[in-house]
């Protein structure tokens, strides 16, 4: 890939453009959000529990819907993303809604240079770690920003689904981290009819890689759950099996779609 940080500029370009698509999409449904709808799902809400008065660091927050939803539940929240357009929009939206949610423009790996302090909870969810090449470095950032006794909560698409081609017809990629996956896609999961094209660079991360990166930082796995559905209709060939639960036509409920982790830092 040449410069080892090339993926950041390539992906940032994509996400800056995706922000304008997403904020105008039915997928993100901003009118309902502005009217008070909480954008968080049952999976993460159950793991988060009562967050009233807690400090939360939300990594890779996009334009901040979930970040602001955490604020609406009574937490003091800081959202982080590397997309200038996403953070700019998030700040305007928080101001419009009268929320005190804080946003920081930063790549995850550079966050120590952009933010001070520690948090009760570090949170990240859905389509996040695949944008990062080095999970050991990611886990070290999480450990750094967690208070002693604090919790890291991750809800993520299961790595099993990333081994298939986009139409889930054949196995195309390794389950384990391999060479970066460079793709040019049209539109977005939030608006598949959009004509814009973006190049992205991602990596697959096996569950063993996720667990090992976190435990090597002295963090302990407290809860691990797998789910046979996605709360989002964001992949090709999906259908809604029951309200709010989407599965892939080809596989039904036979493969895991999402997993969730709660990890603790010793006191």
Q: Which domains does the chain have, with CATH numbers?
A: 6-161+205-230+256-264 (3.40.50.150)
Residue 109 has pLDDT above 90, yes or no: yes
pLDDT tens digits along 43-78? 999 999 999 999 999 999 999 999 999 999 999 999
Contacts of residue 68, defined as CB under 8 A and 6 or more positions apart, other chains included, come to: 33, 77, 90, 93, 94, 97, 99, 101
Residue 7 has pLDDT above 90, yes or no: yes
Instruction: For residue 11, count CB atoms less than 10 angstroms from its CB and return exposed for 0-12, middle for 13-18, buried for 19 or more.
Output: buried
The model's pTM is 0.96
Residue 77 is encoded by which pair of tokens? 């929240």
Q: What is the mean pLDDT of residues 122-146?
A: 98
Q: Which residue has the tokens 């819907």?
A: 65
pLDDT averaged over every residue in the chain: 95
Percent of the chain at pLDDT > 90 equals 92
Residue 3 has pLDDT above 70, yes or no: no
* Beta strand pairing call for 146-157 and 76-81: unpaired
Which DSSP string corresponds to 155-210? EEE-GGGGGB-TTSSSB-S-SS--S-EEEEEESBTTBTT---EEEEEE----HHHH
What span, in angstroms and rounded, lies between the C-alpha atoms of 179 and 182?
9
If pLDDT is split at 50, 70 and 90, which confidence band does 186 have?
A: confident
The pLDDT of residue 155 is 98
If pLDDT is split at 50, 70 and 90, which confidence band does 4 have?
A: low
Residue 128 is encoded by which pair of tokens? 């996040």
pLDDT tens digits along 214-264? 999 999 999 999 999 999 999 999 999 999 999 999 999 999 999 999 999
Q: What is the mean pLDDT of residues 4-30?
A: 93
The pLDDT of residue 203 is 97
Residue 10 is encoded by which pair of tokens? 């390539």
Least confident of 2-16, 149-163, 198-212, 228-242: 2-16
């Amino acid at each position: 890939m040449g410069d080892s940080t090339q993926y950041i500029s390539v992906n940032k370009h994509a996400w800056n453009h995706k922000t304008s698509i997403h904020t105008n999409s039915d997928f993100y449904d901003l009118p309902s959000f502005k009217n008070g709808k909480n954008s968080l799902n049952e999976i993460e809400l159950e793991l988060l529990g009562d967050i009233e008065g807690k400090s939360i660091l939300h990594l890779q927050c996009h334009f901040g819907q979930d970040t602001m939803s955490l604020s609406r539940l009574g937490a003091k929240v800081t959202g982080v993303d590397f997309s200038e357009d996403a953070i700019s929009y998030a700040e305007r939206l928080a101001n419009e809604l009268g929320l005190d949610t804080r946003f920081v423009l930063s790549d995850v790996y550079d966050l120590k240079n952009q933010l001070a302090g520690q948090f009760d909870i570090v949170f990240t969810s859905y389509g996040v770690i695949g944008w990062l090449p080095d999970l050991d470095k990611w886990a070290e950032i999480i450990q750094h920003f967690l208070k002693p006794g604090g919790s890291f909560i991750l809800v993520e698409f299961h790595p099993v689904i990333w081994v298939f081609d986009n139409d889930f017809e054949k196995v195309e990629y390794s389950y384990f981290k391999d060479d970066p996956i460079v793709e040019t896609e049209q539109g977005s999961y939030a608006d598949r009819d959009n004509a814009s094209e973006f190049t992205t660079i991602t990596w697959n991360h096996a569950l063993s890689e996720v667990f090992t990166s976190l435990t090597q930082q002295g963090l302990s796995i407290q809860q691990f759950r797998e789910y046979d559905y996605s709360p989002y209709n964001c992949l090709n060939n999906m259908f809604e099996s029951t309200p709010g639960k989407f599965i892939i036509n080809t596989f039904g409920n036979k493969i895991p779609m999402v997993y969730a982790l709660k990890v603790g830092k010793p006191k």
